[in-house]
Amino acid sequence: MLEANQIVADVLFSLERVIDAGITTHELDHIAEDLCVKHKAIPAFKGYRGFPACLCVSINEEVVHGIPSRKRKLNNGDIVSLDFGVSYQGFFGDSALTVPVGIIDSGTRKLLDITEKSLDLAIEQVQVGNRIADISKIVQKTVEENGFSVVRQFVGHGIGRSLHEGPEIPNFVQRGSSPRIVEGMVLAIEPMVNTGTYDIQLLKDGWTVVTADKKKSAHFEHCVAVTANGPTVLSVRKKSISPVKN
Ligand code: MG
Ligand code: MG
Protein backbone atom coordinates (compact mmCIF):
# COMPACT_ATOMS: atom_id res chain seq x y z
CA MET A 1 0.00 0.00 0.00
CA LEU A 2 2.87 2.33 0.82
CA GLU A 3 4.62 1.66 -2.49
CA ALA A 4 1.45 2.19 -4.52
CA ASN A 5 0.72 5.42 -2.70
CA GLN A 6 4.28 6.67 -3.01
CA ILE A 7 4.02 6.28 -6.79
CA VAL A 8 0.84 8.36 -6.70
CA ALA A 9 2.59 10.96 -4.51
CA ASP A 10 5.54 11.15 -6.90
CA VAL A 11 3.22 11.69 -9.87
CA LEU A 12 1.27 14.44 -8.07
CA PHE A 13 4.52 16.10 -6.95
CA SER A 14 5.76 16.09 -10.55
CA LEU A 15 2.46 17.48 -11.85
CA GLU A 16 2.36 20.21 -9.20
CA ARG A 17 5.72 21.50 -10.40
CA VAL A 18 4.63 21.84 -14.06
CA ILE A 19 1.30 23.53 -13.34
CA ASP A 20 1.41 26.86 -15.17
CA ALA A 21 -0.75 29.05 -17.38
CA GLY A 22 -0.90 27.66 -20.93
CA ILE A 23 -0.42 23.97 -20.21
CA THR A 24 -3.30 21.79 -21.39
CA THR A 25 -5.02 19.32 -19.12
CA HIS A 26 -4.20 16.64 -21.70
CA GLU A 27 -0.48 17.34 -21.22
CA LEU A 28 -0.91 16.73 -17.48
CA ASP A 29 -2.61 13.42 -18.18
CA HIS A 30 0.20 12.48 -20.57
CA ILE A 31 2.85 13.19 -17.92
CA ALA A 32 0.94 11.07 -15.39
CA GLU A 33 0.69 8.16 -17.84
CA ASP A 34 4.41 8.33 -18.69
CA LEU A 35 5.33 8.24 -15.01
CA CYS A 36 3.12 5.18 -14.52
CA VAL A 37 5.09 3.39 -17.22
CA LYS A 38 8.34 4.42 -15.51
CA HIS A 39 7.11 3.07 -12.17
CA LYS A 40 5.57 -0.09 -13.70
CA ALA A 41 2.24 0.89 -12.18
CA ILE A 42 -1.22 0.66 -13.72
CA PRO A 43 -3.26 3.88 -13.82
CA ALA A 44 -6.31 3.05 -11.73
CA PHE A 45 -8.80 5.49 -13.22
CA LYS A 46 -8.32 4.76 -16.94
CA GLY A 47 -11.24 2.59 -17.98
CA TYR A 48 -12.75 2.65 -14.48
CA ARG A 49 -16.47 2.57 -15.28
CA GLY A 50 -15.35 3.89 -18.68
CA PHE A 51 -13.40 6.96 -17.52
CA PRO A 52 -11.28 7.91 -20.55
CA ALA A 53 -8.03 9.14 -18.93
CA CYS A 54 -5.46 8.42 -16.21
CA LEU A 55 -5.89 11.67 -14.32
CA CYS A 56 -8.92 13.60 -13.15
CA VAL A 57 -8.35 17.32 -13.73
CA SER A 58 -11.02 19.63 -12.33
CA ILE A 59 -10.70 23.40 -12.79
CA ASN A 60 -12.39 26.11 -10.67
CA GLU A 61 -16.11 25.25 -10.33
CA GLU A 62 -15.39 21.64 -11.36
CA VAL A 63 -15.51 19.54 -8.19
CA VAL A 64 -14.20 16.15 -9.30
CA HIS A 65 -13.87 13.83 -12.32
CA GLY A 66 -12.89 16.46 -14.92
CA ILE A 67 -11.74 14.83 -18.16
CA PRO A 68 -8.36 15.96 -19.56
CA SER A 69 -8.60 17.70 -22.94
CA ARG A 70 -6.20 18.98 -25.61
CA LYS A 71 -8.43 22.06 -25.87
CA ARG A 72 -8.45 23.04 -22.20
CA LYS A 73 -5.58 25.25 -21.04
CA LEU A 74 -4.89 26.46 -17.53
CA ASN A 75 -5.15 30.23 -16.96
CA ASN A 76 -3.60 32.49 -14.36
CA GLY A 77 -5.89 32.70 -11.32
CA ASP A 78 -7.39 29.24 -11.86
CA ILE A 79 -7.29 26.51 -9.29
CA VAL A 80 -6.83 22.98 -10.56
CA SER A 81 -7.66 19.79 -8.68
CA LEU A 82 -5.54 16.78 -9.61
CA ASP A 83 -6.84 13.37 -8.54
CA PHE A 84 -4.74 10.32 -9.36
CA GLY A 85 -4.62 6.64 -8.54
CA VAL A 86 -2.63 3.54 -9.45
CA SER A 87 -2.55 -0.13 -8.81
CA TYR A 88 0.87 -1.56 -8.09
CA GLN A 89 1.53 -5.24 -7.40
CA GLY A 90 -2.14 -5.74 -6.65
CA PHE A 91 -2.63 -2.82 -4.29
CA PHE A 92 -4.16 0.59 -4.87
CA GLY A 93 -3.07 4.14 -4.13
CA ASP A 94 -5.26 7.27 -4.43
CA SER A 95 -4.53 10.91 -3.65
CA ALA A 96 -5.54 14.40 -4.74
CA LEU A 97 -4.66 18.03 -4.25
CA THR A 98 -5.75 21.42 -5.55
CA VAL A 99 -3.05 23.68 -6.96
CA PRO A 100 -3.18 27.43 -7.74
CA VAL A 101 -2.20 28.59 -11.22
CA GLY A 102 -0.12 31.77 -10.83
CA ILE A 103 -1.64 34.27 -8.44
CA ILE A 104 -5.06 33.56 -6.94
CA ASP A 105 -7.32 35.88 -4.96
CA SER A 106 -7.34 35.71 -1.15
CA GLY A 107 -10.78 34.09 -0.93
CA THR A 108 -9.65 31.26 -3.17
CA ARG A 109 -6.43 30.92 -1.17
CA LYS A 110 -8.56 30.50 1.93
CA LEU A 111 -10.65 27.81 0.22
CA LEU A 112 -7.50 25.79 -0.54
CA ASP A 113 -6.03 26.30 2.94
CA ILE A 114 -9.21 25.33 4.77
CA THR A 115 -9.79 22.26 2.61
CA GLU A 116 -6.24 21.04 3.25
CA LYS A 117 -6.54 21.89 6.94
CA SER A 118 -9.78 19.88 7.20
CA LEU A 119 -7.92 16.89 5.77
CA ASP A 120 -5.00 17.33 8.17
CA LEU A 121 -7.37 17.48 11.15
CA ALA A 122 -9.30 14.46 9.84
CA ILE A 123 -6.06 12.47 9.67
CA GLU A 124 -5.49 13.14 13.39
CA GLN A 125 -8.81 11.37 14.05
CA VAL A 126 -7.52 8.14 12.45
CA GLN A 127 -7.05 6.35 15.77
CA VAL A 128 -7.98 2.81 16.73
CA GLY A 129 -11.29 2.95 18.60
CA ASN A 130 -12.51 6.16 16.99
CA ARG A 131 -15.37 6.02 14.52
CA ILE A 132 -15.53 7.10 10.88
CA ALA A 133 -17.99 9.77 12.06
CA ASP A 134 -15.12 11.41 14.00
CA ILE A 135 -13.49 12.09 10.63
CA SER A 136 -16.75 13.35 9.13
CA LYS A 137 -17.39 15.62 12.10
CA ILE A 138 -14.05 17.44 12.11
CA VAL A 139 -14.10 17.98 8.34
CA GLN A 140 -17.62 19.43 8.41
CA LYS A 141 -16.89 21.62 11.42
CA THR A 142 -13.64 23.02 10.00
CA VAL A 143 -15.21 23.74 6.63
CA GLU A 144 -18.50 25.22 7.83
CA GLU A 145 -17.03 27.44 10.54
CA ASN A 146 -15.01 29.07 7.76
CA GLY A 147 -18.10 29.72 5.65
CA PHE A 148 -17.64 26.96 3.07
CA SER A 149 -19.66 23.79 2.42
CA VAL A 150 -18.89 20.09 2.03
CA VAL A 151 -20.10 18.07 -0.94
CA ARG A 152 -22.64 15.38 0.04
CA GLN A 153 -22.84 13.17 -3.04
CA PHE A 154 -19.21 12.02 -3.05
CA VAL A 155 -17.35 10.54 -0.11
CA GLY A 156 -14.03 9.03 0.88
CA HIS A 157 -13.57 5.28 1.09
CA GLY A 158 -11.56 2.36 2.27
CA ILE A 159 -8.88 1.19 -0.17
CA GLY A 160 -6.74 -1.91 -0.57
CA ARG A 161 -6.89 -4.58 -3.26
CA SER A 162 -9.70 -2.52 -4.80
CA LEU A 163 -9.79 1.21 -5.44
CA HIS A 164 -13.04 1.67 -3.56
CA GLU A 165 -13.73 -0.49 -0.52
CA GLY A 166 -15.79 -0.03 2.63
CA PRO A 167 -16.26 1.88 4.77
CA GLU A 168 -17.62 5.01 3.12
CA ILE A 169 -16.13 8.15 4.66
CA PRO A 170 -18.59 11.05 4.36
CA ASN A 171 -17.29 14.58 4.90
CA PHE A 172 -20.41 15.45 6.89
CA VAL A 173 -22.15 13.85 9.86
CA GLN A 174 -24.92 11.42 8.99
CA ARG A 175 -27.53 10.00 11.29
CA GLY A 176 -27.18 6.45 12.49
CA SER A 177 -24.27 4.33 13.58
CA SER A 178 -20.78 4.72 12.21
CA PRO A 179 -18.11 2.01 11.80
CA ARG A 180 -15.23 1.76 14.25
CA ILE A 181 -11.74 2.50 12.96
CA VAL A 182 -9.76 -0.74 13.17
CA GLU A 183 -6.02 -1.39 13.00
CA GLY A 184 -4.95 -2.44 9.49
CA MET A 185 -7.56 -0.41 7.62
CA VAL A 186 -6.40 2.03 4.96
CA LEU A 187 -8.70 5.02 4.55
CA ALA A 188 -8.83 7.36 1.56
CA ILE A 189 -10.03 10.58 3.19
CA GLU A 190 -11.02 13.21 0.65
CA PRO A 191 -12.85 16.42 1.57
CA MET A 192 -14.46 18.15 -1.43
CA VAL A 193 -15.19 21.70 -0.36
CA ASN A 194 -17.30 24.32 -2.16
CA THR A 195 -17.14 28.09 -1.79
CA GLY A 196 -20.93 28.41 -1.97
CA THR A 197 -23.65 25.78 -2.04
CA TYR A 198 -22.83 22.12 -1.57
CA ASP A 199 -25.20 21.25 -4.40
CA ILE A 200 -23.57 19.88 -7.51
CA GLN A 201 -24.48 19.09 -11.11
CA LEU A 202 -23.18 16.57 -13.61
CA LEU A 203 -22.12 17.92 -17.00
CA LYS A 204 -23.32 16.36 -20.26
CA ASP A 205 -20.01 14.51 -20.69
CA GLY A 206 -21.33 12.16 -18.00
CA TRP A 207 -18.31 12.67 -15.73
CA THR A 208 -17.48 16.24 -14.82
CA VAL A 209 -19.08 17.30 -11.55
CA VAL A 210 -19.52 21.08 -11.10
CA THR A 211 -20.91 23.24 -8.31
CA ALA A 212 -24.55 24.18 -8.89
CA ASP A 213 -23.74 27.88 -8.35
CA LYS A 214 -20.52 27.74 -10.45
CA LYS A 215 -18.41 28.94 -7.52
CA LYS A 216 -15.03 27.36 -6.97
CA SER A 217 -14.39 23.99 -5.31
CA ALA A 218 -11.29 22.33 -3.85
CA HIS A 219 -10.30 18.71 -3.18
CA PHE A 220 -7.52 17.15 -1.13
CA GLU A 221 -7.08 13.42 -0.52
CA HIS A 222 -4.67 11.15 1.30
CA CYS A 223 -4.55 7.42 1.96
CA VAL A 224 -4.01 6.86 5.66
CA ALA A 225 -3.12 3.55 7.32
CA VAL A 226 -4.56 2.80 10.75
CA THR A 227 -1.82 1.55 13.09
CA ALA A 228 -1.69 0.93 16.83
CA ASN A 229 0.56 4.00 17.01
CA GLY A 230 -1.88 6.25 15.16
CA PRO A 231 -2.23 7.41 11.56
CA THR A 232 0.41 6.85 8.86
CA VAL A 233 -0.10 8.92 5.72
CA LEU A 234 0.93 6.61 2.87
CA SER A 235 0.54 9.17 0.08
CA VAL A 236 2.65 11.90 1.71
CA ARG A 237 4.41 14.10 -0.88
CA LYS A 238 7.81 15.69 -0.87
CA LYS A 239 7.52 19.34 0.11
CA SER A 240 7.11 21.32 -3.06
CA ILE A 241 9.05 24.44 -3.83
CA SER A 242 6.26 27.00 -3.84
CA PRO A 243 4.42 26.68 -7.16
CA VAL A 244 3.20 30.26 -6.79
CA LYS A 245 4.88 32.63 -9.22
CA ASN A 246 4.71 36.38 -9.40
MG1 MG B 1 -8.80 10.16 -5.62
MG1 MG C 1 -10.55 8.43 -3.59
CA of 39 to the centre of ligand 2 (A): 20
Strand 192-194 to 156-158 pairing: unpaired
CB 182 within 8 A of CB 160: no
Ligand 2 centroid to residue 156 C-alpha, Å: 6
Q: What is the mean pLDDT of residues 238-245?
A: 56
What would the CATH number be for the domain defined by 2-233? 3.90.230.10
Q: How far is Cα 198 from Cα 202, in angstroms, rounded to an integer? A: 13
Residue-wise pLDDT tens digits, 29-62: 999 999 999 999 999 999 999 999 999 999 999 9
Using the mean position of ligand 1's atoms as its centre, give its distance from the Cα of residue 83 in Å: 5
* Residue 239 CB partners (closer than 8 Å, separation 6+): none
Cα 222 to middle of ligand 2, angstroms? 8
First to last CA, the chain: 38
The stretch 199-223 carries a mean pLDDT of 98
How far is residue 38's CA from residue 134's CA, in Å, rounded to a whole number? 38
Q: Model-level pTM?
A: 0.96
Q: In angstroms, what CA-CA distances link 110 with 104, 116, 152?
A: 10, 10, 21
Q: How confident is the model at residue 240 (pLDDT cuts 50, 70, 90)?
A: low
